[in-house]
Chain A
């Protein structure tokens, strides 16, 4: 009897009824979305670099011969190099073809390959693996992947987990990443959030709902039109700085431009202090986990018949000297051995005297001059590599 009364009392709860309503609405949304594809997985409330890249790649009609992967080390070499070679300002959010690589390879081999760059600032090995796995597949599969890497792309000590990057979050909406979903998350909060998204469908479609909210708000807001029609973001530099530190990665089509080398005065930026900090606290757990993603990338390429070329990116000697003793050579040995075991090529372009101080914008990033030099050297090495030449001449 008492149990009946208690059960009745609990059932009279309007909060409980509200929760049931929420679950019913959620189920309805799940069924409707599955049946009518209401949400577009590519939609995002913010124009992150991965958003620009994925949308840019979606507009490509054919697969590129060569796909470039890597962090800002590869990204700046690509953009600054092309800006210098073409003598034209390049946009980091919409310039995807590497003119340097195409032209220099053409000079060396007589064949001009098509290219597409997926290099994005902050890209970790886990992100590169996910890009290859989700995007470089089927009719869009390239013949060669060139992956530019340096120790910092495996040891970011501010990275909470592989799943915390914008690339991972965005790509997990496009493809099924359930096999790495748990191992990529390390904290209880991340795992709980992931579990909640599995239960509540609406939560997993939150970016789509936020994108709709943004579209509606920008349509209604009297001064937001350019943000929809042209993807242009207009805000004073001081406000952009606050947004960069507090909000998700977001870049307008009118931002992130790279000028040709020499057209503007660009003093060498000494970021030694930043890298001393980065290398001082190497998280072995992150390092090991990122190495395992690198290995996964190599196996994936082998499995799909894509020739993978891992490129050790140029760094200034001063930067290398900041690493713990023996770390750099151990890193190169590890990556080299891993590449050999998985039929991938390993090119060490951080050769003594190949790059001088004038080629660097800071201790790790190449400037326009360095970008051109890098792609010239890379093309020479690729032309000499039999596996790459063979891969490029085969038809899909």
Chain B
């Protein structure tokens, strides 16, 4: 059941109505049943997986909490169970491929996979929530007593498939002291859902079609064209994922629950570290708390910190998908974070010796804009590795993006193929659309940040909702692809 489907448009109001019409005691069970129905609408059998993992982690939570001396083995067992489950479903083919390529040169090959493995939807997200739970219980948090509440924490349908990755300390209290019905929450929830749908079906889906052409056939295009495709993907993935998050948060709000934000104007980040504080916030904070810090974090020698960054980001890359290009995307971000750290240290070193000019230049208005542009382009290069179907395509694109083909004399540097293409409409329209999207990133962020909609007069808010509804009704494409993060 996709958020942008008619089925969800019918399912959600029914569950909301049932929830608020029921006595308080029945509300959590109703939400749990709805969440299981939501999950089963894809492949009913996988409900056993989510129930199984819920039961096992609930048990581990108590074992870890109760064990005075043997906490660590229980924690190890809990984390291993979750990671092995994730690895089996997500990485079995990848590991098999790696093994094949490693053994082939010496004339050996592992047997072919005896069965097909289907990746259960949302597994990467709920497994990370379980790991967070057992680790935090190990660190001293009280385990969740109610099995019902724990089950709902893991399966809550608005965040079930692609997050945001929740923290039980924030979420469980909301179950235990349920919110009262409020028109304000209902209004905020619906307007967030409308905004999310607008981002997904009107912006991301239209851009998806454009991006597909460039990333499938980079051979047709020159350097400047490919930069436009890359910018378009940067906006597509942002609108797709932040649109999904808005719908998830809005849906949760309809039941009176607050779910953490996941994005905060990521393309306005002034450096790569700041980007990761603004992009997929629930994942980056998870990686920080449950991978980077346990590895040693920023403590220890400089090389240890670089190593920790590299391990964290590489595994973060692999979390997105069992594929080399995701791993390299993670390595790229690890390297960029390392370089940023070196640059930051250099800046401090210079400032300590009375050369504050570099800091002053960077902190100036022009410096800030240039930093943002530079960071955006670094992120875009990463997106090429992320989006390209194969490393060969990524390599071809990057070679052209850096004008290497032009320098080698194989392609004219400034010639563009895009202007000659007038169909589909998104091709000629992209030249108008991209500047508007860049601006909209700032405007939408401003709208979110200042809570402009909520603080506006009622009539303005109503007009805003009316405009969103109208645009979604009229301009949605006939086919809407799945959310990008559903595959992870």
Contacts and interface: CB of A to CB of B under 8 A. Distances in A.
Interface of A: 9-10, 12-15, 17-22, 25, 189, 192-193, 200, 202-203, 206, 209-210, 213-214, 217-218, 220-227, 232-236, 238-240, 242-243, 246-248, 250, 252
Contact of B216 (A213, A232, A242, A250): A242
Interface stretch (B74-82, B237-245, B348-356, B459-467): B459-467
A217 B428 contact: yes
A18 B213 CA distance: 38
Contact of A214 (B183, B425, B466, B470): B425
B48 interface: no
A234 B459 contact: no
A12 B183 CA distance: 8
A14 B458 CA distance: 6
Given A15-B465, A17-B458, A210 B429 contact: no
A236 B431 contact: no
A250 B422 contact: no
29 contacts: A13-B186, A14-B187, A14-B461, A17-B459, A21-B463, A25-B470, A192-B6, A203-B473, A206-B473, A206-B474, A217-B425, A218-B422, A218-B425, A221-B431, A221-B432, A222-B419, A222-B431, A223-B428, A224-B429, A225-B422, A227-B422, A227-B425, A234-B420, A235-B423, A235-B424, A236-B217, A239-B421, A239-B424, A242-B213
How many interface residues does chain B have, given as a range? 35 or more
Nearest to A247: B424
B183 A239 contact: no
Nearest to A226: B422
Nearest to B476: A206
A221 B462 contact: no
A233 B422 contact: yes
A227 B429 CA distance: 12
A22 B469 CA distance: 8
A224 B425 contact: yes
A218 B428 contact: yes
Contacts of B187: 13-15
Contact of A246 (B462, B464, B479): B479
A233 B420 CA distance: 10
Contact of A217 (B432, B462, B464, B473): B432
A193 B478 CA distance: 12
A250 B424 CA distance: 9
A248 B478 contact: yes
B428 A224 contact: yes
B49 interface: no
Contacts of B220: 236, 238-239
Interface in B438-469: 458-459, 461-466, 469
Nearest to A255: B423
B465 A223 contact: no
Given A17-B459, A19-B466, A19-B469, A227 B423 contact: yes
A202 B432 CA distance: 26
A25 B6 contact: no
A243 B423 contact: yes
B464 A221 contact: no
Contacts of B216: 238, 242
Given A210-B475, A213-B475, A217-B432, A21 B422 contact: no
B427 interface: yes
Q: Which of A203, A221, A240, A246 has the largest number of chain B CB atoms within 10 A?
A: A221
B33 to A, nearest CB: 22
Contact of B217 (A17, A218, A239): A239
A78 B186 CA distance: 60
B200 to A, nearest CB: 17
Given A233-B422, A238-B217, A15 B474 contact: no
Contacts of B217: 236, 238-239
A202 B474 contact: yes
Contacts of A192: 6
Given A18-B461, A21-B462, A25-B466, A234 B421 contact: yes
Given A221-B428, A242-B213, A18 B466 contact: yes
Nearest to B208: A246
Nearest to B7: A189
Which 4 A-B residue pairs are closest in the complex by CB-CB distance? A18-B465, A221-B428, A17-B462, A224-B428
B209 interface: yes
B190 interface: yes
Contact of A210 (B191, B427, B469, B474): B474
Nearest to B209: A246
B464 to A, nearest CB: 7
B466 A200 contact: no
Contacts of A20: 462
Contacts of A210: 474-475
B212 interface: yes
B246 to A, nearest CB: 15
A189 B470 CA distance: 20
Contacts of A227: 422-423, 425, 428
Contacts of B474: 202-203, 206, 209-210
Nearest to B182: A9
Contacts of B420: 223, 234
Contact of B190 (A15, A203, A213, A217): A15
Nearest to B461: A14
Contact of A202 (B431, B464, B465, B470): B470
Interface string B171-191: 000000000000100110011
A243 B419 CA distance: 18
B7 to A, nearest CB: 8
